[in-house]
Structure 1
């Protein structure tokens, strides 16, 4: 396709949602190869809009101080119905000024160190076993609803060392927060009801009590670490509560989508999946390459706070720039044969978990979950329960992943090798 044809298809994708019901990898690959920078026609009284999909240019924007995260704007009905949630999210870590962002991120990062996550490995593996037990007993089922959606929230509960009897209540509230964010801010649909103002206040009170209880615990969990930082006057009590609340939401959808994408990617490539089954030590590398090919998060959004010369043009103050993570991961300038599954990739250049100051703090935790899910599946005789070209995809802008992914255990695959996505 020519650059103008790609731009037209992109515009229909954004405005008309054309193609949202299927995997958009082919479109993302075309963007990276043939239309690395697209400026859409200016609409009167509206900000300009760009998409950037070339790998190095995406990094340039993410590193550029003149491009900032778009301030969240909730519709009036949401702001009136749940003002507490709206206020919490607007002042959350993502939208903090650079100085406070660095300070808060630095305080939080210790809870996501390699040593801290090693302590979670056994517990996460047990959670994976528990979630798969039902699927295995039934001979199969929908992986998304049974494993991919609940696992990240349960792992977060373990990371925070919440009492296990509280997990169903707290993870339910967490799903409600994600639903509120999806429906009220991102314009997406959700399978559960958004959290109510009363539920959000209960959750905030619950976290507030935990932070106070662990003030002198000297524990290694994230809440105890943050309570210690509060005692050292590095953060305020309210900031600690807000950080913990944010952890119930941050990266959850990305991990959910990544888990589903990795399975679809590998089961569509029987030779690569056979290698994983023969050597489960390859599970981490297999997960990383799978979520490069099928990046769970499609776009990040930035806005220009001043005029910027960029890629031979001028991005005007207030213009919106969509940085295409999923396309940049398929840029042939960065990845040789980008649509091929390769075991020798240098995954540090992948943008699956973002880049720079907004690189996902929980990336290691997401990779751990991906590795352990694939390890569990490698022990089984698993196959897709639906042909890959008939898989139902999520109908939203933010994530490119299956809405349902049916697996069969102990049966031959109904799907022949589909080749590269």
Structure 2
């Protein structure tokens, strides 16, 4: 491997070579320039321990000034808050610092408890089986849209109290497309005018949709996540109407992006390593560890951002107060100092924890749900469709920060 330092690095979603296989570049960064200054104006940190030091350090690092961070992409004259997609993003607790982050996250975790998530196991299994019941006899599907997108969307609809009579194909398609389009702003790149206008429209659609759900739950409470969010309290204070809508979009979208692409990336990777697919088919109980290995090896989130609050040393380099830092978690997930033979895909691996859910106060609040959905999806596919084959020849990747497939054709012997 070359030891020449990389002079410029950017998460460019238009770079087809980088999209197809970013890991040679990630590995080179980690090995030759682990605390790299990009000419786009941010640091790129790529070693496991350095990434951990950044994401776990709540004193020296945080989200910082949201408007300033977005203006780094568009220029100082860009009116960030006039765009509904960025206004929504600025209010999501993931992009907040304490004390606001502490209050919002605390209220969300009151509603999205571990007990509530684990209680969903039989329901998630039922949803997964019903999805496969619809398509098993056909002998083929487009795995991303027919299965990977629909599973987390149906699960979140169920948790929010949106019944099967409401969650028809038209609504699911509209919600999936709205999340896909609206979440373009999270790629943290300057969007062309048409893409930004589309993101604004779709976030506005989602805001209206979820506002309607919460309005109904105020008069018709149920044992669901929407009602739990309405009832959550911190020192007697609950979430405002705006905060509930913002949280719902964030939870819905995070589940969609993380879980859907974890399933798609996982099935692609398993079929690029057919011995591991055969291993899972022989023992579907490996689905939980397979999910963790997929999250490490081909994560659906490649990086997370932080802003330095103070001058601080990372990996022997001084990062100045106000500097933006890209913690390249996907590179840390293949750090040979933490993982033996890190470029080997092994669904039975048991080593250091991967970084795909972040860390510290911003550790993914939906991590347990994503893991549960991944485990059930993989185990059920292995059990019910052991002969499934996916077209791994020319995968079309839709993004780099959120790394997932546009499509993944699959077929199996029809019963």
| Fold-level similarity (TM above 0.5) | yes
Match of 1:203 among 194, 198, 209: 209
Contact preservation (8 Å) 1:37, 1:53: yes
How far 1:330 moved relative to its partner? 0.4
**Cα-Cα RMSD:** 3.1
Contact preservation (8 Å) 2:62, 2:97: no
3-state DSSP class of the match of 2:232?
A: helix
CA distance in 2, matches of 1:116, 1:163: 17
Match of 1:381 among 383, 386, 396: 386
How far 1:381 moved relative to its partner? 3.2
Q: Which runs of 5+ in 2 are unaligned?
A: none
Contact preservation (8 Å) 1:300, 1:324: yes
**CA separation of 1:63 and 1:183: change in aligned 2, threshold 3 A:** closer
Contact preservation (8 Å) 2:397, 2:405: yes
How far 1:16 moved relative to its partner? 6.9
Q: Which residue of 2 aligns with 1:416?
A: none
What TM-score, normalized to structure 1?
A: 0.83
**CA separation of 1:392 and 1:39: change in aligned 2, threshold 3 A:** same
CA distance in 2, matches of 1:173, 1:61: 34
Q: How many residues align?
A: 396
2:230 corresponds to 1:227:
yes
Match of 1:406 among 394, 405, 409: 409
2:157 corresponds to 1:164:
no
Range that drifts further, 311-320 or 364-373:
311-320
**CA separation of 1:254 and 1:343: change in aligned 2, threshold 3 A:** closer
Q: Which residue of 1 aligns with 2:299?
A: 295
2:60 corresponds to 1:66:
yes
CA distance in 1, matches of 2:234, 2:346: 48
Q: Which residue of 2 aligns with 1:26?
A: 24
Q: Which runs of 5+ in 1 are unaligned?
A: 412-421
Q: Which residue of 1 aligns with 2:327?
A: 323
How far 1:287 moved relative to its partner? 1.6
How far 1:143 moved relative to its partner? 0.7
How far 1:335 moved relative to its partner? 0.8
3-state DSSP class of the match of 1:336?
A: coil
What TM-score, normalized to structure 2?
A: 0.84
Contact preservation (8 Å) 1:154, 1:167: yes
**CA separation of 1:283 and 1:198: change in aligned 2, threshold 3 A:** closer
How far 1:321 moved relative to its partner? 1.2
Contact preservation (8 Å) 2:296, 2:356: yes
Contact preservation (8 Å) 2:13, 2:19: no
**CA separation of 1:401 and 1:229: change in aligned 2, threshold 3 A:** closer
**CA separation of 1:114 and 1:202: change in aligned 2, threshold 3 A:** closer
Contact preservation (8 Å) 1:227, 1:240: yes
Contact preservation (8 Å) 1:153, 1:248: yes
Q: Which residue of 2 aligns with 1:17?
A: 15
**CA separation of 1:407 and 1:363: change in aligned 2, threshold 3 A:** same
Contact preservation (8 Å) 1:306, 1:318: yes
Contact preservation (8 Å) 2:390, 2:410: yes
